[in-house]
Amino acid sequence: MVKCQMVMDAMERIAPRHLAEEWDNPGLLVGSPLQEIHRILVCLDVSDDVVEHAIEMGAGMIVSHHPLIFKPLKKLRTDLPLGHRLQMLLKNDIAVFSAHTNLDIAEGGVNDVLAEKIGLTETEPFVVLSRDGDALGSMGRIGRFQKALTVQEFALAVRDALPVSHVRLVSAGDRMVRKVALCSGSGAEFISKAASLGADAYVTGDVRYHDAQHALENGMHVIDAGHFGTEFPIVSTLAARLKKELAEMKGTVEILEDNASEDFFTVL
């Protein structure tokens, strides 16, 4: 039989906890390491729909990218969204494990998957993080295309490669795109870093008005493909890797992935 702890150990091999930033909250957030797990649902967010899906399919564990519990809880109100979600998870004996910034940073994690999806090669570390003088890894990646593209061609290529209906383009003129930096999720804070490394374009999500202005001042294109769009591709990859990690365990566990969730934003 497969215990929750075995799944946790597998996730530690995929995305070591020590890579997570200090403000983050990865790990086992609901449940016990001793629980027997027969079915796992891998997702981006532990939403109400995901919890309902897990209940319907009889999943005993949810593995997510975004932590269900992020800030300390001072009360557990079951009439409020988070409290109700926790109630449903506990009532149905569903454990929740999250790998957040550690999965962003890890090799083969969110940023490597994003780079592969949009066709970057020769990828290198982008924003190198350290703790106590020791390098942890890189937030984001920087790489190249085999051939130069116009920014319009590049923007369309990114849109078509990701689970999005649109992208937002900040065009810095006629500069061709060959060298590209990226940071999945919300990475506008690294625009200056991308410019300093000579990137022609930067791919991320959650770009604000003044972020776009800053990019233009640095003569660099920006593609905002959204928080969801730049991170959701990790779901299928993580499910496949987890299945491989658990394949030799004594006992069988079924790994399923959430393929129904959509971006919160729509364009009218």
Q: How confident is the model over 44-68, as pLDDT tens digits?
A: 999 999 999 999 999 999 999 999 9
In tens, the pLDDT along 122-174 reads 999 999 998 877 888 999 999 998 899 999 999 999 999 999 999 999 999 99
| Domain 4-103+231-257, CATH homologous superfamily name and number | NIF3 (NGG1p interacting factor 3)-like (3.40.1390.30)
Q: Could you report the per-residue pLDDT of 70-121, keeping only the tens digit for each? A: 999 999 999 999 999 999 999 999 999 999 999 999 999 999 999 999 999 9
Contact criterion met (CB below 8 Å) for 58 and 93: no
> What is the pTM (predicted TM-score) of this model?
0.95
HSE-up (13 A, CA, CB side) for residue 252: 1
Which residue intervals of the chain bear CATH 3.40.1390.30?
4-103+231-257, 107-225
Output the 3-class SS for the chain: CCEHHHHHHHHHHHCCHHHCCCCCCCEEEECCCCCECCEEEEECCCCHHHHHHHHHHCCCEEEECCCCCCCCCCCCCCCCHHHHHHHHHHHCCCEEEECCHHHHHCCCCHHHHHHHHCCCEEEEEEEEEEECCEEEEEEEEEEEEEEEECHHHHHHHHHHHCCCCCCEEECCCCCCEEEEEECCCCCHHHHHHHHHCCCCEEEECCCCHHHHHHHHHCCCEEEECCHHHHHCCHHHHHHHHHHHHHCCCCCCCEEEECCCCCCCCCCC
Q: What is the mean pLDDT of residues 12-32?
A: 96
Placement of tokens 């924003």 in the chain: 127
pLDDT at 175 over 70: yes
State the pLDDT confidence band at 250, using cuts at 50, 70 and 90: low
pLDDT, tens digit (0-9, with 9 covering 90-100), for 5-16: 999 999 999 999
Question: What integer pLDDT is reported at residue 51 of this predicted model?
Answer: 98
| Distance from C-alpha of 110 to C-alpha of 100, rounded to nearest angstrom | 9
Please list the residues that pair with 168 across neighbouring strands.
Answer: 224
Which residues is 82 bridged to in the sheet? none
Of 207, 199, 210, whose CA–CA distance to 177 is shortest? 199
Pairing mode of beta strands 221-224, 168-170: antiparallel
How far is 15 from 240, CA to CA, in rounded Å? 14
The confidence score (pLDDT) of residue 150 equals 97
Is the domain 107-225 a CATH 3.40.1390.30 member?
A: yes
Longest dimension (CA), the chain: 59
Burial of 57 (0-12, 13-18, 19+ CB in 10 A): exposed
Q: Is the dihedral of CA 71, 76, 79, 83 positive or negative?
A: positive
